[in-house]
Amino acid sequence: MSTDAHQEPNYMAVFWSLLVLTLIEVGVFYLHIARVFFITALVLLALLKAFLVAWFFMHLRSERWTLIFVTVIPFILAVDLLLGLMPDVGHLPF
């Protein structure tokens, strides 16, 4: 942990933020938009919610940056792998 004093996060603000993001996800469902935009919006909203949970409830905000890099770099590599393999999805034999 860092040498800074640990400050208690505003859990109610995080709760309301997560609630609003969930309501936006429900709204995206009822918009009946194109499938690619629908999936992209839901994934981005889910990533934002996961970030809020990790940052505040798992107290990553008060951790050292090296620990954050250990969690962020594999995520970036996984996204890069998925994006790199996307052209091959249309060529699956089944």
pLDDT band at 94 (very low <50, low <70, confident <90, very high): low
Is residue 11's pLDDT more than 70?
yes
- pLDDT tens digit string along 38-88? 988 999 999 899 888 888 877 766 677 777 677 788 888 988 888 888 777
User: pTM for the whole thing?
Assistant: 0.63
* Domain positions in the chain: 11-89
Q: What is the SS3 assignment for 92?
A: coil
Buried b (16+ CB within 10 A) or exposed e, 24-61: eeeebeeeeeeeeeeeebeeeeeeebeebeebbeeebe
